[in-house]
Structure 1
Amino acid sequence: MTSDPIFVVQLHDARRLHYDVRLEVDGVLKSWAVPRGPSLDPTVKRLAVFTTDHDLEYASYEGVIADGQYGSGAVIVWDAGIWTNLTRDDRRRPVDPAVAIERGHLKFHLHGVKLNGAWAFTRTGEDWLLVKVRDAAADPALDLTVAEPKSVLSGLTIEDMATRR
């Protein structure tokens, strides 16, 4: 029996504050750094930079990565849950998530504490865009990055975590 793949969004205060959106694919967390975080507005396209894969164990990591190490700075789990692949080919057949990423377009549904509904990552040259799909969970008036700043695991803000150095 296979369980649903997980997702996590970690708020990371490294060189610049950003949101790491990570989706479990083939036993690893495929990762995109989204500088301004996810938007619930389907008209907003957010820059997403594809980054290195992370081990699944990293999905629950919160803490402060020491100075001098890759990604040094505070990290909180801003959101977490499971996700469903919605990517289809021209004949409406499911496309494997790894293949979809390789081809440059992954459509998915998040079932999280904060983020719900359909989203898409689309490659545009070297970078990617993260866009909210128009659905019942879309809400152009709500900015969750402002309204919901705390970790879904610890209840800490990124500022709280940074003081734990």
Structure 2
Amino acid sequence: MAEQQDRLAKYRGMRRFDRTDEPEGGAAAPGEDPSFVVQIHDATRMHFDFRLEVDGVLKSWAVPRGPSTDPRDKRLAVPTEDHPLEYRGYEGMIPGGQYGAGPVIVWDHGTYHPLVDGGPEAFARALERGHASFELHGTKLRGAYALTRIHQGPDGGAGDAADPAWLLVKKKDAHSTPGRPTTPDPHRARSVLSGRTLAGVRREEPQDGS
């Protein structure tokens, strides 16, 4: 638990939990199968957040153009801080003045299967080395994907310095759509949890004093 707490130190240090309703972490237990979530976040820049449950936290990447089902699309994925497992179900309005201010919805979620021999530990090591393949079992995203690091920052790629970058790519299988990407329009996409759009979340933001 102490090691997990340390991995969430950056996440917690970037947020004021007396101002934001984002989860502080530490209460959720891992499920039988590792989970994934894709959130759409209209912050300073619109982007998708792609998160995989690894070793008790959500390893996270910001994907500006979102995941694609076309294997020819190579989508930039920029690593961000580890998030707590409770973030799998988070959607709402991060208030102004806070890190990441803006609406968040859960566009897709589900479980995933590492396509690496050796179980969860081997999958975590594969990510550390910079390449890991996995199969998604989501409501919207299904089939095999790969994350590959293409540039490592001087800190070793941990995301604390200087632009480490990855690619998120769909593999060819029964769920791929060559020549026909199915990335959603983030402005029209709806939450898999509540059916809300980003605009709907924003409209529901409470006014001061209410």
Q: Same-fold call, TM > 0.5?
A: yes
- Aligned partners of 1:50 and 1:86: how far apart in 2? 21
* More off after superposition, 145-154 vs 155-164: 145-154
- Aligned partners of 2:133 and 2:68: how far apart in 1? 15
Aligned-pair distance for 1:144?
A: 3.6
Is the CA contact (8 Å cut-off) linking 1:114 and 1:144 kept in structure 2?
no
- Aligned partners of 1:53 and 1:30: how far apart in 2? 5
**Alignment correspondent of 1:157:** 197
Aligned-pair distance for 1:87?
A: 2.9
**Alignment correspondent of 1:135:** 173
| Structure 1 residue runs without a partner (length 5+) | none
**Alignment correspondent of 1:98:** 124
Q: Which amino acid aligns with 2:140?
A: K
Q: Secondary structure at the match of 1:68?
A: coil
- Aligned partners of 2:47 and 2:132: how far apart in 1? 21
Q: Secondary structure at the match of 1:20?
A: strand
Q: What is the TM-score when the length of structure 1 is the normalising length?
A: 0.91
**Alignment correspondent of 1:145:** 184
**Where do residues 66-81 of structure 1 align in structure 2 (5 Å cutoff)?**
66-81=95-110
Structure whose CA Rg is larger: 2
Q: Which amino acid aligns with 1:19?
A: F
Aligned-pair distance for 1:149?
A: 1.2
Is the CA contact (8 Å cut-off) linking 1:87 and 1:107 kept in structure 2?
yes
**Alignment correspondent of 2:148:** 122
Deviations 1:28-82 (A, max 9, x none): 0000000000000000100000110000011100100011111111000000000
Aligned-pair distance for 1:146?
A: 3.3
RCO higher in structure (CA 8 A, sep ≥6): 1
- Aligned partners of 1:115 and 1:144: how far apart in 2? 10
Aligned-pair distance for 1:98?
A: 1.5
| Structure 2 residue runs without a partner (length 5+) | 1-30, 152-163, 206-210
Q: Which amino acid aligns with 2:47?
A: H
Structure having the higher strand fraction is: 1
Which 4+ stretches in 1 moved above 4 angstroms?
A: none
**Alignment correspondent of 1:25:** 54
**Where do residues 31-50 of structure 1 align in structure 2 (5 Å cutoff)?**
31-50=60-79
Among all aligned residue pairs of Structure 1 and Structure 2, give the percentage whose two residues are the same amino acid.
56
Q: What is the TM-score when the length of structure 2 is the normalising length?
A: 0.72
